[in-house]
Structures are given as structure tokens and as C-alpha cells.
Amino acid sequence: MTVSPLTPTDLARIRADFPILARKLHGQPLAYLDSASTSQKPQQMLDAMTSFYSTSNANVHRGVYTLGVESTDAFEAARDAVAALLNAPSRREVIFTRNTTEALNLVAKTYGVQNCGPGDVIVSTVLEHHANLVPWQVLAEQTGATLRFLDIDDEGNLQLDALDAIAREGNVKLVAVTHQSNTLGVRPPVAELVAWAHALGAVVVLDAAQTVPNRPVDVQALDVDFLAFSGHKTLGPTGIGALWGRESLLADLQPFLTGGEMIRSVKLERTSWNSLPWKFEAGTPAFAEAVGLHAAIDYLHAVGLEAIDAHEHAITDYALGRLTEVPGLRIIGPQTAAARGGVVSFVLDDVHPHDVAEILDRHAVCVRAGHHCTQPLIERLGLAATVRASFYLTTTEAEIDRLVDGLLDVRRVMGV
């Protein structure tokens, strides 16, 4: 079934829920085109957190008094919401973390350290955000395992032709890949990688920071082994994210951090660990943020993740078309909207991306400039930096038009 993108009426209704969109910068309405960095927040999410703090705030898993019970129930209900969002087989498989970065580090420092050693191979790709690259570098250094990166073609499409050679290098233990590049918007062939990895007995770690916010993500259909995402990119607050992992794998792991809720009993000589998922949640968790994330997930369901995906696709198609009207602009990555998400990187003649972003800011158009925490990818593409515009459920064609007008002004100001 093809889902229709959001209608102009839907968009107007959705945009009215985001108070920050009423803000003006330099006398002009805000055009926020940086959702890949962090999403803006709907009033429903803000209200949920304010209401929680105003009525039910108490630490979780400790108090037997009413507030503590309410707060614990709200925290654990948020876990159920994440489990349902990801179609996780069990709520025990959902571990709250601070963000995607912490979730990926958790896998490296637990599963990775316990399972990798000399003669083993860890596989990642040049597309990765540093959060899905540096932990594997450190893991390889710590354990003596070999780290290999899959390359891309000039449009950013992942090349799988090196897989056979990599498999001959040793025991492939772990494959870490992004579900969608935060710099190019390209979506790697995860199904092929999963089939290859599982045939070799390796696990697949999926960085879903750029997809959980905007399309249905189903861990069972994907058949990955671990998946990470961030609340702040998903209409939720900062300070909360989640790791999903197969229970059969999580059950055998030693804890990541120690202290607080992750214990069952402590004696001076030795400590035993709590059951899943709390074994991996040391210290007071971000429970108010979990309530916010729950409200954000409810909001996403109310709009419909299929509809958000269809909208991003349509708006990206529109943006790719309009951007080609700017002389000297070169899109980096896939040239069509078919195989990509709502992230468009580009360069404009010899103008430094920071100058582009700075001049666009005078038009109240917010875009990101730089390496987007993907330095190896930017280097692989032979660039120093790009400008990146990224879209979400609030993005309108009028905002894209303002981006294009702003870029024409950049050309005038910079004399190119």
C-alpha cells in the first residue's frame, strides 16, 4: 500500500504543534533545516514532561510511596512504547541510554570486549558517523581484532564486493552499519549485510539514529542483533536514547556501568546483577526524559510513520529538483530521492560551507556546515566539508524555496 504524503492541511496542523516554529530570526520566520542534528519538539512532548515534573516526580524503582510508584510506572511505560515502536519481541530487550553514541559504546564495551580477540574481524563502513566508528576502533585496539571498512562509490552507495576478501581474513564477529547516512542520506543494503554476517555467525549492529525518527523500523523484520537510536532526534528530549538487543545476547553480557539499579544484591565481597533490562541501567535513569520520549513516540504514531516517510521522500524530491536551479551547486551523494532519506549535502562552487551557512542564517534558514561527525567519509569524497540541509515532518516546500533564495544570495554576497 502506498501511503500519501502529508497534505498542506496536515502540515499546517503539525507545524502549529511546534512552538519554536513561531519564532522569527532577523525579522523572518524560522526555516529549520537541521533535523538530522536534532529535531524540534511538539508542545505535546513539552507538556508531558512539565506535567510529569509538576505532578509525579520521584525517583524510580525506589519509593514505595505513591509518587515513586507513579514515576516508575511512567518510566516503564516508556520502555513499552519503545519496544512497540521497534516491534521488539520483549521489553527486556530495551535498554535506556543517554543517546545513540552511548548505546553503541555499550555494545562495544560489553559484547565486543567479551567476544572479539586476535584473529577476529570487525566490519564497518566509511559512511559511518563517528559514534559508529570510533567505538569499533577502540575495540579493535583493545582486543587485537582487525577492523575493516567497506567502501562506497562516488554517489555514496555502499560497495559489497570486498565482503569475500574480508571473510577470508579471519572470523568475522561483528558488522556495524548505519541504517541511513547522516551526511549523504544514502541507505546501505542492510538486508544483504545481515544475510552475509549471519551466515558467518557474526552479529549486526545497526545505527538507526537517522531512521527511527521518520519511518517504521522493525527489529524483527530487519533481523539485526543490536539497534541504537536517540530520543532528541525523535521529537523527544535530550539525554535519552535506547539500545535494543536480542535477549539471548544481552543475557550473557557483563554490565556496562556499575552501581544503582543494575544490582540485585551487594555484599562487600561481591555483587550480583539485576535482570534485563535493568542490568544495563546504572544510576538514576533519565526517567522524566523517558516520559518525554513516550509522548514523542505517541506523537509520531498519531501522525503516522509511513506518512512521515512519504513526506520526507516528497520534500527531498522537491529539494533535489530546486537545488539544481542554483548555479555552481553540486549535490553530494545520490542524485535522486529514490534511495535516500531527507538529508541533502551539497557544495557551492568554492564558497566555504561555513560561509554558506552563515549567510543562510541571515535569511533565518538553519543548515549545518562541516564534516557532520563523518570525517573519514568527507575525506573519502575528497572534500573538506559540505553544507547539509535535512528535512522532517514539519518541512514545507516554502522552506525549501527560501533555502534556494538564500543560496542565490550567497552567490551574490560571495561574488561567485
DSSP annotation of 109 reads I
With binding defined as CB under 6 A, does residue 97 bind ligand PLP?
no
The only residue of 131, 202, 314, 351 in contact with ligand PLP, by rule CB under 6 A: 131
Instruction: Taking each helix axis as running N to C, give the angle between helix 66-85 and helix 287-303, from 0 to 180 degrees, rounded to the nearest 10.
Output: 40
Binding mask of the shown chain, residues 358 to 387, with x at each position contacting ligand PLP by CB under 6 A: ---------------x--------------
> Stretches 13-21, 98-106, 214-222, 353-361: which one binds ligand PLP (CB under 6 A)?
98-106
By C-beta, is 36 or 314 nearer to ligand PLP?
36
Q: Which residues pair with 362 in a beta bridge?
A: none
Among 210, 316, 394, 396, binds ligand PLP (CB under 6 A): 210
Read out DSSP for 227-246?
EEEEGGGTTS-TT-EEEEE-
182 binds ligand PLP (CB under 6 A): yes
Instruction: Give one DSSP letter per residue of 143-199, joined into a string.
Output: H--EEEEE-B-TT-PBP-TTHHHHHHTSEEEEEEEESS-TTT-B---HHHHHHHHHH
CB of 15 or CB of 130, closer to ligand PLP: 130
Asked if residue 396 binds ligand PLP (CB under 6 A), the reply is no
Residue 115 vs 230, nearer CB to ligand PLP: 230
- Whether residue 285 is preceded by a cis peptide bond, meaning omega within 30 degrees of 0, is no
Q: How many chain residues touch ligand PLP (CB under 6 A)?
A: 14
Interface stretch with ligand PLP, choices 94-102, 269-277, 279-287, 326-334 (CB under 6 A): 94-102
**Which one of 71, 100, 105, 214 is in contact with ligand PLP (CB under 6 A)?**
100
- Is position 178 an interface residue for ligand PLP (rule: CB under 6 A)? yes
Scan residues 256-295 and list those touching ligand PLP (CB under 6 A).
Answer: none
**Helical H runs in 24-122?**
43-55, 66-85, 100-107, 113-115
Evaluate whether 157 touches 94 at the Cβ level (below 8 Å).
no
Specify the stretch interacting with ligand PLP by CB under 6 A; choose among 65-73, 115-123, 206-214, 334-342: 206-214
Q: Which span sits near ligand PLP by CB under 6 A: 23-31, 110-118, 185-193, 204-212?
A: 204-212
Question: Residue holding cell 516546500?
Answer: 397
C-alpha to C-alpha distance for 191 and 90, rounded to whole angstroms: 22
* Residue of 373, 381, 389, 403 marked catalytic: 373
**Span near ligand PLP by CB under 6 A; candidates 95-103, 152-160, 166-174, 292-300:** 95-103
3-state DSSP assignment of residue 332: strand
Q: Is 105 near ligand PLP (CB under 6 A)?
A: no
CB neighbours of 398 closer than 8 A, spacing ≥ 6?
Answer: none
Site string for ligand PLP, 229-248 (x = CB under 6 A): -x------------------
What is the x/- site pattern for ligand PLP, positions 23-42, by CB under 6 A? -------------x------
Active site residue 373: yes
Contact predicate 375/392, CB 8 Å: no
Least Å from the CB of residue 142 to ligand PLP: 21
Give the DSSP H/E element, type plus range, for residue 289.
helix 287-303
Binding track over 41-80 against ligand PLP, x by CB under 6 A:
----------------------------------------
The closest of 244, 239, 243, 242 to 286, measured between CA atoms, is 239
Q: What share of the chain is helix, strand, coil (3-state, %, to 5)?
A: 45, 20, 40
Question: In angstroms, rounded to a whole number, what is the distance separating the alpha carbons of residues 319 and 365?
Answer: 14
Handedness of CA 87, 88, 90, 94 (dihedral sign): negative
Q: What are the contacts of 337-341 at 24+ separation with CB within 8 A?
A: 337/313, 339/157, 339/186, 339/187, 340/180, 340/184, 340/185, 340/186, 340/187, 340/316, 341/180, 341/185, 341/187, 341/210, 341/211, 341/214, 341/215, 341/312, 341/316
Q: Which is nearer to ligand PLP, 72 or 99 (CB)?
A: 99
Measured from the CB atom, the residue of 60 and 373 that comes closer to ligand PLP is 373
Contacts to ligand PLP by CB under 6 A: 36, 99-101, 129, 131-132, 178, 182, 207, 209-210, 230, 373
Residues with active-site annotation? 373
